[in-house]
């Protein structure tokens, strides 16, 4: 299974943009890049996913490098409610839908 | 509103007892999953089911059992054979198991062995 590498922790100031990086140098051509976040004592929440093109939704944007070996989750204006652990996960068609979680990035947001 | 309901939120078990964690979804999703999370760790897959009356072992299935008799329900039994059952258990579902679909997670059950 292709792996992802994320920084253990990041800090941001409230109302500033946040760029959360993810490296996935062994990604295959059919792997989708998914992002989830988890608040303390809650289940993970789907954020966004993409294959090759950049993606935008109401929660965030996903910027995918041209060679697909890295991606960046962008929160345009961080709020205190965005403080969570963010997981970058690769999903392939032969995994039966399994999500393989790494350690993620713990994002703290300062007022 | 559609979603996944896990119950109970907190569960205490005596050593040697079997306990069953409930997971119900009204999203009409085909695939359902059980994960376990230990403090400070990521999630690990226990069992998953892509269709009714069928399920597969995940990475840490020993000491657990499941059933999928209805599309909406995927209960997890933690048996006495599970040596370290204290953990946060999360159920999830997905419309289809393909890589272009996202999960919906429940709010979890925190199991403690006393």
The DSSP annotation for B92-105 comes to EEESSSSTT---EE
pLDDT digits (tens, 9 = 90+) for B48-73: 999 999 999 999 999 999 999 999 99
**Per-residue pLDDT, A2:** 63
CB contacts of A104 in chain B (<8 Å) are: 42
pLDDT over threshold 90, residue B22? yes
Helix (H, G, I), strand (E, B) or coil at B69: coil
Residue A84 near residue A95 (C-beta atoms within 8 A): no
Among candidates B35, B98, B105 on the partner chain, residue whose Cβ is nearest the Cβ of A45: B105
B102 in A contact zone (CB under 8 Å): yes
Q: Which residue has the tokens 């988890």?
A: A38
Percent of chain A with pLDDT over 90: 77
Pairwise CA distance, residues B20 & B8, whole Å: 10
Identify the residue among A97, A98, A100 best suited for mutation to test binding to B, counting B beta carbons within 10 A and taking the highest.
Answer: A97
Mean of the pLDDT values across residues A54-77?
Answer: 96
pLDDT over threshold 80, residue A95? no
Mean of the pLDDT values across residues A58-67?
Answer: 95
B42 in A contact zone (CB under 8 Å): yes
Among candidates A34, A43, A97 on the partner chain, residue whose Cβ is nearest the Cβ of B50: A97
Q: Backbone phi, then psi, for A67, in 5-degree steps? A: -85, 0
Residue A14 near residue A80 (C-beta atoms within 8 A): yes
pLDDT over threshold 90, residue A19? yes
The confidence band for A100, taking pLDDT boundaries of 50, 70 and 90, is confident
Residue A80 backbone class (left: φ over 0; alpha: ψ -120 to 50; beta: rest): alpha
Mention every residue, 6+ apart, whose C-beta is less than 8 A from residue B27. B2, B3, B4, B93, B95, B104
The confidence band for A1, taking pLDDT boundaries of 50, 70 and 90, is low
A57 in B contact zone (CB under 8 Å): no
Pairwise CA distance, residues B81 & B109, whole Å: 19
B77 in A contact zone (CB under 8 Å): no
Pairwise CA distance, residues B43 & B1, whole Å: 26
CB contacts of A100 in chain B (<8 Å) are: 45
pLDDT over threshold 80, residue B19? yes
Distance from B6 to chain A by nearest Cα, in Å? 10
Identify the residue among A32, A37, A43 best suited for mutation to test binding to B, counting B beta carbons within 10 A and taking the highest.
Answer: A43
Pairwise CA distance, residues A86 & A73, whole Å: 9
CB contacts of A97 in chain B (<8 Å) are: 31, 33, 48, 50, 94, 96-99, 101
pLDDT over threshold 80, residue B15? yes
Mean of the pLDDT values across residues B67-90?
Answer: 95
Mention every residue, 6+ apart, whose C-beta is less than 8 A from residue A14. A78, A79, A80, A109, A110, A111
């Amino acid at each position: 299974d292709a792996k992802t590498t994320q920084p253990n922790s990041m800090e941001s100031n409230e109302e500033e943009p946040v760029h959360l990086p993810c490296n996935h140098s062994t990604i295959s051509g059919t792997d989708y890049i998914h992002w989830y976040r988890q608040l303390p004592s809650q289940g993970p929440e789907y954020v966004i996913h993409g294959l090759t093109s950049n993606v935008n939704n109401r929660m965030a944007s996903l910027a995918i490098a041209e060679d697909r070996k890295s991606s960046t989750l962008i929160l345009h204006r961080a709020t205190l409610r965005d403080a969570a652990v963010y997981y970058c996960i690769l999903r392939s068609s032969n995994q039966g839908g399994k999500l393989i979680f790494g350690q993620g990035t713990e994002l703290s947001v300062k007022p | 509103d559609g979603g996944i309901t896990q119950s109970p939120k907190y569960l205490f078990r005596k050593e040697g007892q079997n306990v069953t964690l409930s997971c119900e979804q009204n999203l009409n999703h085909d695939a359902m999953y059980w994960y376990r999370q230990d403090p400070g760790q990521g999630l690990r897959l226990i069992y998953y089911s892509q269709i009714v009356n069928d399920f597969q072992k995940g990475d840490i299935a020993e000491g657990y059992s499941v059933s999928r008799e209805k599309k909406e329900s995927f209960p997890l039994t933690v048996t006495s054979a599970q040596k370290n059952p204290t953990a946060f258990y999360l159920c999830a579902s997905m419309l289809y198991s393909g890589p272009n679909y996202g999960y919906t997670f429940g709010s979890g059950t925190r199991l403690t062995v006393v």
